[in-house]
């Protein structure tokens, strides 16, 4: 279940309450007249089944409530109520399959910000991967994959394409391209510094490297793995199962490829630089393609589910056209 808290102008409260009462999947409606001070108005709260949340938010925005008041929605971990159980049963579809597009857009917007924190994590991940590449150490490579924050902008691009939001596309592309460029530049300087200190040497990047040599030798399997990881990552975002993102992060060689390209470039090994760049592009492209197709499929399937609404005579069913 989701908890919805609204600040509503007094003259619009009756309309909002009527909307909530007529929406299938809602329960525990509470109205607190005059409780809000900034902005001034009434506070209206209710619980709503996740599968009904997206349409309800869209209807509330159609009333202009985000401009005249506010709309806040949050996930609830536990709800013990027969009313809530009935609301979930009446709501069409399955909550695990529901996509809250407003929530997804907001989440990817935040994760796609070109910020000091984002660049710091990406640079640290790339430098950690550089150590893994030079030492041919799988543990360091996996650790670098888990630290990298690049899935946020990738998910942002897919979401923006499906939602037709060009500003989010531009924002995500800037975070992705600018972030990787800066992280690779920092990593090249990091490799130069460790070379001066005698901790890195050219023979390390030119060695056989049986564990990490695949990073600069892309093939179709690289794209397939990235494609599957993109599907898993997108599903984890839309179903609120964020724990699956860790598995996605350690299965795609985006950060290690960027690190290998930076270190190889610092040693003038342009063959590895080009190969690593191709690996990076293949992985990024596979994730974006998979994410976009997954969101399009989820959108189509959910529309089909929503078309199968209960009849108006069902308690709590929507009576709106």
pLDDT in tens, the chain (321 residues): 889 999 999 999 999 999 999 888 899 999 999 999 989 999 999 999 887 888 888 899 899 998 999 999 888 878 888 888 888 887 766 656 667 777 777 777 777 889 999 999 999 999 999 999 999 998 999 888 888 888 889 988 998 899 888 888 999 999 999 999 999 999 999 999 999 999 999 999 988 889 888 899 888 888 998 899 888 888 887 775 555 455 555 557 799 999 999 999 999 999 999 999 999 999 999 999 999 999 999 888 777 766 665 543 333 433 333
Q: What is the pLDDT of residue 10?
A: 93
Q: Which residues contact 39 (CB under 8 A, 6 or more apart)?
A: 7, 9, 68, 69, 70
**Sheet arrangement for strand 2-8:** 26-37, 40-48, 2-8, 70-75
Long-range contacts of 310-314 (CB under 8 A, 24+ apart): 310/24, 310/90, 310/92, 314/24, 314/90
Return the SS3 of 5. Answer: strand
Q: What is the pLDDT of residue 260?
A: 95
Three state DSSP letters for 16-84: HHHHHHHCCCEEEEEEEEEEEECCEEEEEEEEECHHHHHHHHHHHHHCCHHHHCEEEEEECCCCCCHHH
Q: What is the pLDDT of residue 249?
A: 59
Spatial distance between the Cα atoms of 292 and 161, rounded to a whole number of angstroms: 7
- For tokens 């909307």, the residue is 19
Token pair recorded at residue 175: 């975070």
Q: What is the pLDDT of residue 298?
A: 84
Q: What is the pLDDT of residue 311?
A: 40
Return the SS3 of 236. Answer: helix
Q: What is the pLDDT of residue 241?
A: 57
Return the SS3 of 93. Answer: coil
Residue 182 Cα to chain centre, angstroms: 22
Q: What is the pLDDT of residue 85?
A: 84
Q: What is the pLDDT of residue 312?
A: 35
Q: What is the pLDDT of residue 232?
A: 85
Q: What is the pLDDT of residue 300?
A: 82
Q: What is the pLDDT of residue 321?
A: 34
Q: What is the pLDDT of residue 103?
A: 75
Q: Is the peptide bond before 199 cis (omega within 30 degrees of 0)?
A: no
Indicate the pTM of the whole model: 0.78
Contact between residue 122 and residue 150 where contact means Cβ atoms under 8 Å apart: yes
The two beta strands, 2-8 and 26-37, are unpaired
Token pair recorded at residue 10: 């007094």
Token pair recorded at residue 233: 């990552």
């Amino acid at each position: 279940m989701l908890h919805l808290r609204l600040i509503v102008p007094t003259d619009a409260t009756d309309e909002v309450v009527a909307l909530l009462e007529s929406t299938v999947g809602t329960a525990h409606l509470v109205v607190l007249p005059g409780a809000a001070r900034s902005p001034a108005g009434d506070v209206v709260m209710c619980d709503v089944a996740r599968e009904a949340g997206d349409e309800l938010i869209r209807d509330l925005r159609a009333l202009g409530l985000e401009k005249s008041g506010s709309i806040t929605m949050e996930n609830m971990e536990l709800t013990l109520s027969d009313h809530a159980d009935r609301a979930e049963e009446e709501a069409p579809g399955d909550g695990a399959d529901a996509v809250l597009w407003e929530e997804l857009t907001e989440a990817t917007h935040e994760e796609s910000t070109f910020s000091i924190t984002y660049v710091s994590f990406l640079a640290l991940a790339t430098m950690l991967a550089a150590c893994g590449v030079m030492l041919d150490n799988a543990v360091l490579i996996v650790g670098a994959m888990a630290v990298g924050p690049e899935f946020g902008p990738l998910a942002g691009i897919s979401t923006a394409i499906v939602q037709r939001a060009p500003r989010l596309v531009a924002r995500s592309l800037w975070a992705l391209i600018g972030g990787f460029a800066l992280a690779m530049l920092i990593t090249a300087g990091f490799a130069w510094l460790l070379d001066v200190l005698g901790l890195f040497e050219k023979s390390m990047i030119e060695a056989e490297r049986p564990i990490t040599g695949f990073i600069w030798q892309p093939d179709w399997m690289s794209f397939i793995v990235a494609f599957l990881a993109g599907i898993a990552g997108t599903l984890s975002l839309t179903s609120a199962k964020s724990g699956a993102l860790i598995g996605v992060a350690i299965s795609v060689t985006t950060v290690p490829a960027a690190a290998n390209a930076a270190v190889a470039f610092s040693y003038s090994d342009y063959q590895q630089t080009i190969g690593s760049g191709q690996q990076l592009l293949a992985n990024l492209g596979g994730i974006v393609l998979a994410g976009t197709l997954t969101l399009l499929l989820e959108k189509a399937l959910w529309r089909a589910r929503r078309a199968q609404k209960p009849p108006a005579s069902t308690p709590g069913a929507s009576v709106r056209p």
